[in-house]
Amino acid sequence: MADYDASSNRVTLKVVYYGPALSGKTTNVVALHDMLSPQSRGEIMMFETRQDRTLFFDLLPVGFRTRSGMLVKLKLYTVPGQVAHDSTRKAVLSRADGVCFVADSAKSQSVNNAESFENLEANCRRVGLDFERLPLVIQFNKRDLPDPVPEKDLRDRWSAAPWPLHMATALTGQGVQQTFLDLMARSVESVARELDDIGAVAVTADEIRDGFLTLAKGR
């Protein structure tokens, strides 16, 4: 359920970057952070081990006002991908309004990607999120690797799935913004339905998109 505060006309959306260890979740959020103007973004919070592995989560808070005057707060989280940190992953996933699943395009990572995707589905059940209705986008990251799984193979493999696929190289920022805006559009669509149900003025995906792009341009 979206976090809406009528007295201050504020909506808070939580989106989570999920996926196997080292697929590039933190790199995606750092790239988004770098795109935004310093006034609009909060401090990026990162909790990592010395090897740069996410230990608890990363959090990037972003805030802006839409043209209609609603204050939109985005909280972008990443989960730790390492298998051992499952209870942290569950806690971070809880009450998410949308998820970006970041897969690693390396051929050697297919099994890890599949196991992590199954873990996402299982953890959605555990924290009470309806996986079938969860706004979800899939990103295949690290397209710059020398021998990634070809895009055509990925699209064939996922053709029956209802989620959009994005190709990205988070290290250079390529595909990061498109993935994020698609994730936001889907998340906002579902949040807008919830707001409508409680009689609140809904925020639209276009307003979020405009707000984010204005912030990115302000840099």
Q: Which parts of this chain interact with Mg ion (CB under 5 A)?
A: 25-26, 54
In angstroms, the Cα distances linking 169 to 72, 91, 141, 166 are 28, 28, 5, 10
- For every residue of 1-14, DSSP letters joined together read --EEETTTTEEEEE
The number of residues that bind ligand GTP (CB under 6 A) is 22
Q: Would you say 9 or 110 has its CB closer to ligand GTP?
A: 110
Q: Tell me which DSSP letter residue 217 carries.
A: H
Segment 24 to 53, residues that bind ligand GTP, using CB under 6 A: 24-27, 52-53
By CB under 6 A, name the one of 113, 169, 179, 187 that touches ligand GTP: 169
Count of other CB atoms within 10 angstroms of residue 156:
10
Q: Which does 175 bind (CB under 5 to 8 A by kind): ligand GTP, Mg ion, none?
A: none
Do residues 210 and 67 lie in contact, with contact meaning Cβ atoms separated by under 8 Å? yes
CB of 3 to ligand GTP, least distance (A): 25
Taking contact as CB under 6 A, which single stretch among the options 8-16, 22-30, 113-121, 197-205 is the one that binds ligand GTP? 22-30
Q: Phi then psi for 201, rounded to 5 degrees? A: -70, 125
Say whether residue 112 binds ligand GTP (CB under 6 A): no
Residue keyed to tokens 């730790």: 80
CB of 82 to ligand GTP, least distance (A): 5
Say whether residue 80 binds ligand GTP (CB under 6 A): yes
How far from chain centre, in Å, is Cα 42? 17
Task: Report how far residue 16's alpha carbon sits from residue 26's, in angstroms, rounded to the nearest whole number.
Answer: 11
Q: Tell me which DSSP letter residue 131 carries.
A: G
CB of 114 to ligand GTP, least distance (A): 16
Say whether residue 119 binds ligand GTP (CB under 6 A): no
Ranked by CB distance to ligand GTP, the top (closest) residue is 81
For ligand GTP, the binding residues (CB under 6 A) are 19, 21-27, 52-54, 78, 80-82, 141-142, 144-145, 169-171
